[in-house]
Amino acid sequence: MIEVHQLTKRYGQHLAVNQISFTAQPGEIVGLLGPNGAGKTTTMRMLTGFMPPSEGRATIAGFDVMADSLEVRRRVGYLPERVPVYPDMTVKGYIEFWAKLRGVPDPRAQAGAVLERVHLTDRQNMLVRNLSKGLRQRLGLAQALVHDPPVIILDEPTIGIDPQQVIEVREAVRDLGKNHTVLFSTHILSEAEQVCDRVVIINRGQIVAQGTPDTLRTQLQRGAALYVEIGGTGKDSAVQLLRSIPGVESVEKQGHGFAVRSKTDVRGELSDRITRAGYRVLELRPVAMTLEDIFLDLVGREK
Ligand SMILES: Nc1ncnc2c1ncn2[C@@H]1O[C@H](COP(=O)(O)OP(=O)(O)O)[C@@H](O)[C@H]1O
Ligand SMILES: [Mg+2]
């Protein structure tokens, strides 16, 4: 439903999105997960036809986001990072306005239906200016849904709203996923895990990992560290031995032993080699890391 090939965006010299490729199948909820400045908003603006890519291409339902942008907009509901609001309109008036703009056959009826869907019916006569941030987010969602598009693109819909509303928005997204293809961005790992069928991790404009939360968990944890403590004379020189094990990426001193990072499971080989070299393995255990730690390692710990 969404196909992205080598999509790239430069702002002047700055490479904001660098050759990213991913897909979202019909009915899938795909999470675009990455820290601030990763390129999530830029990607979404290209997918919704608001901004031309510098290179690469993307299609939605087979339509090119640039060449067929009208067809694309008809099929996409977009909740931007900052929802444009018209403070003096009523809630219902605002949604009717968008319904007309999008050429919906019966704007009044459709506005009513969509407000019901996002549970804003009892607020329909309120002025937009008086809505809380959370309610405004729901209004933005109604705006994105008003023409009943098969694809929904939501840019960090839970940012800046209170915890109860965060839960509601996450539920709304899961709900949407039952009948829509959803692309949803977040900088919160646990949110991506909870809400998405598949997660695309992006950092500094590049995709660093993608897969279902389960496969990502396994993949990422395989790269986690082991703690090994070695006994025997001259054990400090064992660091060379550890580094020579295939798959080992780094060895650092930690406490009385070493932290060993590897791409693959090296425990067997590691204990064999240590023993063969005449040392003893006193302790060998995974360094306890949460998925959050691993994610932060992957995207760098700078804020
Ligand atoms: N209009 C712009 N002009 C220049 N640089 C921009 C513009 N918009 C975003 N950037 C830069 O592009 C990078 C990606 O930004 P953005 O797509 O907003 O990331 P995210 O949504 O993941 O926080 C950042 O380094 C940001 O500073
Ligand atoms: Mg953003």
Contact present, 1 and 151 (Cβ < 8 Å): yes
Closest atom, ligand 1, to C-alpha of 12? 4
Q: What is the CATH number of the domain that holds 150?
A: 3.40.50.300
Whether the pTM exceeds 0.85: the reply is no
**62 shares its domain with 105:** yes
Closest atom, ligand 1, to C-alpha of 36? 23
| Owning domain of residue 269 | 225-286
Closest atom, ligand 1, to C-alpha of 155? 21
For ligand 1, atom 16: residue with the closest CA: 39
The total of structural domains in the chain comes to 2
What residues pair up with 207 in beta bridges, in sequence order? 202
Question: Residues near ligand 1 with C-beta < 6 Å?
Answer: 11, 14, 16, 34, 36-42
**186 shares its domain with 241:** no
Rounded to the nearest whole angstrom, what is the distance from the C-alpha of residue 40 to the centroid of ligand 2? 5
For ligand 1, atom 5: residue with the closest CA: 11
Contact present, 49 and 58 (Cβ < 8 Å): no
Q: What is the pLDDT along the chain (303 residues), one digit of tens a residue?
A: 999 999 999 999 999 999 999 999 999 999 999 999 999 999 999 999 999 999 999 999 999 999 999 999 999 999 998 877 788 999 999 999 999 999 999 999 999 999 998 889 999 999 999 998 888 888 999 999 999 999 999 999 999 888 988 998 899 899 899 999 999 999 998 899 889 999 999 999 999 989 998 888 777 666 668 899 999 877 777 889 999 999 898 898 888 899 898 878 899 999 999 999 999 999 999 876 666 776 777 777 554
Antiparallel, parallel or unpaired: β 29-33 and 198-203: parallel
Q: What is the CATH number of the domain that holds 246?
A: 3.30.70.100
Among all chains, which residue has been given the structure tokens 């005449």?
A: 278
CA separation for the pair 223, 288 (Å, rounded):
12
Mutation choice for ligand 1 from 18, 33, 42, CB with most ligand atoms inside 8 A: 42
